[in-house]
Chain A
Amino acid sequence: MTVLFIVLPIALVLAAAGLAAFLWAVRQGQYDDLDTPPYRMIFDDDEPALHKTQQRSSP
């Protein structure tokens, strides 16, 4: 069971990576508006050209 001494720190590093991703998303403003995105995703992507411009993240 000595493997625990290696596995546990690795698990913690993975958790830290997940946490870092979350913090990055928060600082990017991805949690600022929780009401509009649910609607946005139901629209059909009928215009690929337009879709490209819309993918710019909000400044």
Chain B
Amino acid sequence: MTQAAYKPSARASSQHATGCTCSHCGLTVPKGMVDAMRKQQFCCMACESAYEVIHGCGLDAYYRLRDKAAAEQRQAKPTDAQRLSAFDSDKFHELYVRRLDDGLCATDLLLEGVHCAACVWLIEKLPRVVPGVIEARLSLREATVRIVWDPQRAELSQIAKALGTLGYAAHPARGGDKRGVHLAEQRAMLVRLGVAGALAGNTMLLAFALYTGMFGGMEQRYAEFFRWISVGLGVLSLAWPGRVFFQGAWAALRTRSPHLDVPIALALGVGGVAGAVNVVVGRGDIYFDSLTVLVFLLLVGRFIQYRQQRRADDAVGLLFSLTPSHCRRVVHSTDGDADGESIESVPVEALGLGDLIEVRSGELLPADGVVVQGQASVIAALITGESRPVPIAVGDRVCAGARLAGATLRVRVSAVGEASRVGKLMALVQRGMSEKPPIIALTDRVAGWFVCAVSFIALVVFVAWSVSDVALAVDHTVALLIVACPCALGLATPLGLAVAMGRSARRDILIKSAAALDRLSKPGRLLIDKTGTVTRGAMRVEAWQGDMALQPLIAEAERHATHPIARAIVEAYGDQELAAAQRAMLCDIRVDRCGVSARLGQGQLRIGSRLYLLEKGIAIEVSHGKQVSDWSGLGCTTVYVAIDDRVVAMIAVGDAVHEDAKASIDQLRRWGWEVSMLTGDERAVAMQVGQAIGLDASAIAAGVSPEQKLEVVTSRLGDERAVVMVGDGVNDAAALASADVGVSVSGGAEASMAAADVYLARPGLSGLVELIATARNSRCVIRRCLCVSFSYNALAVALAAAGLINPLVAAVLMPASSALVLGLAMHGQRRPRQDLETQGATR
């Protein structure tokens, strides 16, 4: 999606401005496309056809709405016809389409580029664009659309194509089962919330009457009646929505791990039983108003936290939909004709052993296999961490998940799914996740000794009062146990965490578990993957020095070479227009081992490595040396361009280190983190990158296999200091899953995103710094909440021990303390950036 966002600006700057903007996307229309005869102008064919569809269906209101929403305008993007055909395959229907009772079909599609109200309007008008679509409902937050259509009248591929024409590339929404579970869970929580709220409200009303009666006097039969109804509502509240606290406490006791649910369940249990007994006996206080409100408020806090967590989890899950799930299978027709083969698009799940598949340049290999036709290079950065491409030819084995570069290959499938190398790594991930010790959050740890302290005080109070009156001692002890419930804390912690997670999500940091924030707040050991995490993860042109006019010429010459460096240059400069006269000057292009040479008019153009130029007897001036060493410091290789015997330009190509990497790592070290780098790449490359980000040789482990990464992580676990793994590839997934906290970074493999606790949806390491700043900040907030909450508890316990508490005092104290702590939790959160600045200013 980032690429899509960058593209328009690149276009706009590369083409000459004509002062005319595209009627659909608002970009400048290139000179050649301007048609003076028309009112509407378009920057490309795709925008024109998008406009035609929208206008033709009488949906021009879209442009009005969009202008009102002042949203970013986007270019139309046609969807690849190959990919579309997959939408109609049987396997696709089996996987993603539900049949409704009335013969209609329904499916969820993830759309790219949904962002504003106008999108909702346009997409939900889909029934007018494609006849046969009955209904389209967009969920703006998830960017998914639920489509109900009549299979007799429309094919799904037509629908996907129409969406693509409008500018929303459609993908099947994967991870549906998980989202279904989340949805069911959210509904269950809402039900509990509603019930708890209704019961609390009604119990409060009764309590008002009872309190008034306390002062003004009340006939005994009414008081009795009110108390009986209170107990009914209260017990219902404890037994239905309140059950979660008893279940949580029971689970905590069974596993002998402290949990905040234990003191809560203690208060609820004691209060409920004592209140019920008092009503039956007809004397003493009842606390059901406080108890029901307590249940309600705690559930509110948990619900909000759950929503934030689910939001992050779903967002990451939906990203999987963007990874290709289809591949091309070569099918031989049955009539024995030699030319009778065709290519069909099938879902990856439908691949079988021995199938012949075609993989094109730039695509990911869908399965393990042996090359039977073609010659190319594979970049296995996501699987092994090796950033440099490896050449492969017929007979070589290739792994699923590697990216193909250079040419089209035909591969005979030798292993699919769980049997492939990636599949085996995924099994390790599963194991890592199940064996990972649960993180005990700060509040839960505190809850452990809190229970002990309260029980001890309760015992002392009971003994002290029972000297004079046993019945009175029971009353005071019950009151103490109820008011000692850490309700403010139980409410404030989830809310504080939810606020932190929500703020992070807006800054592209998706936190899937709140416990991860707790672990990240104290300095620990940070293990960083190199390729794709510290570096960008792909070969590309990083810098250019020399005459810009040469760029299209060089791209033209490099078009003939298949080396990844050549491809990176073509990618960078290949779309610039080359004048016909210039093209004519370029002839006799020859591709050598380390370079390309061509005749350029009267001169000889040579593009290649230092070695190549030296071989040809071209001297490289000393003045270039400084630039080259700067570039190699960033991990780049320099490509020289010479005309005759003079170097005229230099290009830095490489898997460059992110600009923010060094600053980020320095900041983390200042906070006391121990940073080291783990990479599957060669030692030399690793050292170069290590130097660029300021790591010592001792902190770098190179040539590490995925299994070894896992070993390194597990060997460091079990210590006070948290082990945090940051990575992007399949090779990091197992390590991410077993580390205390796994952080997966933008552009990473599906496996690593699923295994990690946090997903940084933007490139670079600055997100990591922000994440840790947020964690530190939220720890401060939680500490503050702890202090206030415990001061309240201490006060309430002291009052109860002295026998001065009654239900009215408790009913006033509890919401007051909750409100105070809530205020702290919500407003105590500083924005991460401000936090960073203040941190910097104090140093």
Q: How many residues of A contact B (CB 8 A)?
A: 33
| B106:A53 contact, CB within 8 angstroms | no
Chain B residues within an 8 Å CB radius of A33: 139-142
Residues of B within 8 A of A18 (CB): 198
Closest chain A residue to B119 by CB distance? A39
Interface members, chain B 186-203 (any A CB < 8 Å): 186-187, 190-191, 194-195, 198, 201-202
Task: Enumerate chain A residues within 8 angstroms of B142, measured Cβ to Cβ.
Answer: 33
CB within 8 Å of A: which B99-140 residues? 100, 106, 117, 120-121, 124-125, 127-128, 134-135, 137-140
* Chain B min CB distance to A41 (Å): 10
- CA distance in complex: A1, B105 (Å): 60
A-B contact count (CB 8 A): 82
The distance in angstroms between the C-alpha atoms of A35 and B146, with both chains bound, is 15
For chain B, give the interface size range: 35 or more
Chain A, 12-27, CB within 8 A of any chain B CB: 12, 15-16, 18-19, 22-23, 26-27
By the criterion CB–CB under 8 Å, are B225 and A36 in contact?
Answer: no
A33 to B141: give the CA distance in the assembly, Å: 8
- Classify the secondary structure of B's interface with A: helix
Are B128's CB and A19's CB within 8 A? no
Alpha-carbon distance between A46 and B121 when the two chains are bound, in angstroms: 12
Known: A15-B198, A46-B61. Is A53-B120 also a contact (CB below 8 A)? Answer: no
**Chain A residues near B125 (CB, 8 Å)?**
50
Measured in the bound complex, the distance between the Cα atoms of B59 and A44 in whole Å is 12
Partner of A23, one of B134, B138, B191: B191
- Whether A50 touches B117, Cβ cut-off 8 Å, given contacts A18-B198, A23-B194, A26-B190, is no
Query: Which residue on A lies nearest to B201, using beta carbons?
Result: A15
Q: Given that A50-B125, A59-B100, A59-B148 are contacting pairs, would A32 and B186 also be in contact in the complex, using a CB cutoff of 8 Å?
A: yes
B183 in contact with A39 (CB, 8 Å)? no
Task: Assess whether A15 is in contact with B134, with CB atoms less than 8 Å apart.
Answer: no
* A56 contact set on B, CB distance < 8 A: 134-135, 148
Contacts A27-B187, A31-B187 given; indicate if A19 touches B134 (C-beta within 8 A).
no
Contact B120 A36 (CB under 8 A): yes
Q: Check if B392 is an interface residue, CB within 8 A of chain A.
A: no
In the assembled complex, the Cα of A39 lies from the Cα of B119 at a distance in Å of 10
Q: Assuming A35-B140, A46-B61, A58-B146, is B100 touching A40 (CB within 8 A)? A: no
Q: CB-CB < 8 A to A35: which residues of B?
A: 139-141
Task: Give Cα distance in the complex from A1 to B535, angstroms.
Answer: 79
Q: Which residues of B contact A46 (CB under 8 A)?
A: 61
Which B residues are in CB contact (< 8 Å) with A26?
187, 190-191, 194
A-B residue pairs, 4 tightest by C-beta: A35-B141, A39-B117, A36-B140, A19-B198
Question: Could you list which residues of chain B lie within 8 angstroms of chain A, going by C-beta atoms?
Answer: 61, 65, 100, 106, 117, 120-121, 124-125, 127-128, 134-135, 137-142, 146, 148, 183, 186-187, 190-191, 194-195, 198, 201-202, 219, 222, 225, 229
Show 5 residue pairs from A and B whose CB-CB distance is below 8 angstroms, ordered by the A residue. A12-B202, A15-B202, A27-B187, A43-B120, A53-B135
18 additional A-B residue pairs with CB within 8 Å, beyond A11-B202, A33-B141: A8-B225, A16-B198, A18-B198, A19-B195, A19-B198, A22-B194, A26-B194, A33-B140, A34-B141, A36-B120, A36-B138, A36-B140, A39-B121, A43-B120, A46-B61, A58-B135, A59-B100, A59-B148
